[in-house]
Structure 1
């Protein structure tokens, strides 16, 4: 049975639960609710599993904090022997407008420390990723400290109204990636105005 590793980036602990930087965790939690699966605490992360269209999906929430996400991804990739093309990373992106979603098969880390860590541990930037836009403001004149406070800030009420529809779209993209592959999923969803 073909296996997939879907990793949502975020920080463990109640303090970070509703922050923008925990978007990856939020999406995986919504999948967990939708499919009635639960996460178990394992080495370097929490794992849940689902059989979908005769494919086995492992969902991973690293417990290493965002900046060391690569340690968790690499450990589970090696332990379960996932092929690189069957790995998908979900992250927030401060350089995309709020609610914009991009699926790519490779690319830079965009200054995201979680993606930097994964690139370092895997030794490549050629892995699929969903980047979910969280930004509302002009990044060009924003100092690094303000960026940190922003990504670690909680979602606003007006954002939550839009957020969950976009989370549902992200879930559609994830399951299309598993069932139809990267190229078909990109071709279909990239034609949409999202």
Structure 2
């Protein structure tokens, strides 16, 4: 079985380790833990890891967040995978910091990366893992907030939270979406 795991983020050192790049951070952790090597592919950096007889193709779009659908469309088609075998990892300001929510489908919730994926696929019926980054920003400062780095307090917990999100990704591929949601969507 093969799975496409798409971590959303923006390329470039100015975006590294920002809230908006949590998808990249989770994939970087997975690649390091399971000896994956990112190479330049079409519209993305791509790595492959294997776990429990499954192959996980990790994709970090190089198109910037607002055009993430280009990488998703290309890699889904080239791998000939059904959309059910894809999981998109993204930041979410509507979820408290460190909480994750996994869903089989849903709205873009104002997230431009998810909007472009939805536009590219023509629907919003694809699994996603939303990583809560909180909403500690002033009115009108949402963009500045998601493009800023995590606070010192958040950074102290961040590695453990990334590891938990990575566990959810592996669970998605090994035990399925339903069981993964039941285990990881703890209130």
Question: Is TM (by shorter chain) over 0.5?
Answer: yes
RMSD: 1.2
Match of 1:167 in 2: 162
| CA deviation map 1:110-166 (0-9, x unaligned) | 10000000001011111000001111427xx722xx100000011222111111111
CA distance in 1, matches of 2:19, 2:77: 29
Match of 2:96 in 1: 97
CA distance in 1, matches of 2:148, 2:158: 15
| CA deviation map 1:82-117 (0-9, x unaligned) | 111000000000111111110000011110000000
Say whether the 8 Å CA contact 2:31–2:49 is kept in structure 1: no
Match of 2:184 in 1: 189
Match of 2:6 in 1: 7
Shift, 1:188, TM fit? 1.9
Q: Which runs of 5+ in 2 are unaligned?
A: none
CA distance in 1, matches of 2:29, 2:125: 27
Q: Report the secondary structure of 1:24's partner residue.
A: helix
Where in structure 1 do 4 or more consecutive aligned residues deviate above 4 Å? none
Match of 1:149 in 2: 144
Match of 2:51 in 1: 52
Q: Report the secondary structure of 2:95's partner residue.
A: strand
Q: Which runs of 5+ in 1 are unaligned?
A: none
Match of 1:83 in 2: 82
Q: Report the secondary structure of 2:170's partner residue.
A: helix
Match of 2:28 in 1: 29
Say whether the 8 Å CA contact 2:48–2:57 is kept in structure 1: yes
Match of 2:108 in 1: 109
What is the count of residue pairs matched by the alignment? 187
